[in-house]
Amino acid sequence: MAIKVGNIVEGKISGIMNFGAFVSLPENKVGLIHISEVSSSYITDINEHLKIGDVVKVKVIKIDDDGKISLSIKKTAEQKKHVKTEPQSKQPALIRPAEIDWGANNYSDLSFEDKLNKFKQDSDEKMLALKRSNDSKRSGGYRRGGNSY
C-alpha cells in the first residue's frame, strides 16, 4: 500500500523524543507522530503512552516536499468515532425522563384556592431561602483589623 495523505497505515515505534515519536512505515519510510497527535488529552510525557517497539496504527496527515511524513494516532481514533453504524432497530430509541416523584406534592383533595395558597407559601419560602443564601455570600468583603484596601 502506498503512503498517501489520509491513509491509515501500521508502523512500529523506532524512536522516542520529548517532542514526539518516530515510526518505521512500510516501503522503508519513517514518519513522525508529534506529541500533540498521540492523544486527544494533554500529554506531558510521551513515554507514558508509547514505547519503542510498539506497533501502532497511524493516519498520514501530511507529506512535505522534502519527504517528511507527519502522522497521527489521535486522528485514527477520531475517524473510528465518525464511522456510521446502522441502528439495530429502525425505531428511534426511547428516551426516558429522569425519575421524578410526581406524587410527592399530591394536593388533589384540596380546593383550587387552597392549592394556590400552598403554592404561594412554598414559593415565598424558597425565595426567602434564596435571599438568605445570596446575602450570606455578599457579606465576606470586610475584615476587622486587617489591611485596608
State pLDDT tens for residues 58-88: 999 999 988 899 999 988 876 665 555 555 5
Nearest residue to 7 via CA among 107, 94, 83, 75: 75
Q: Answer whether CATH 2.40.50.140 is correct for domain 8-82.
A: yes
Q: Where are the domains of the chain?
A: 8-82, 108-138
pLDDT more than 70, % of the chain: 70
pLDDT at 30 over 90: yes
How far is residue 91 from each of residues 23, 65, 85, 87, measured CA to CA in Å? 45, 51, 15, 9
pLDDT at 143 over 60: no
The pLDDT assigned to 77 comes to: 75
State pLDDT tens for residues 103-112: 556 666 778 8
Rounded Cα gap, residues 69 and 33, in angstroms: 9
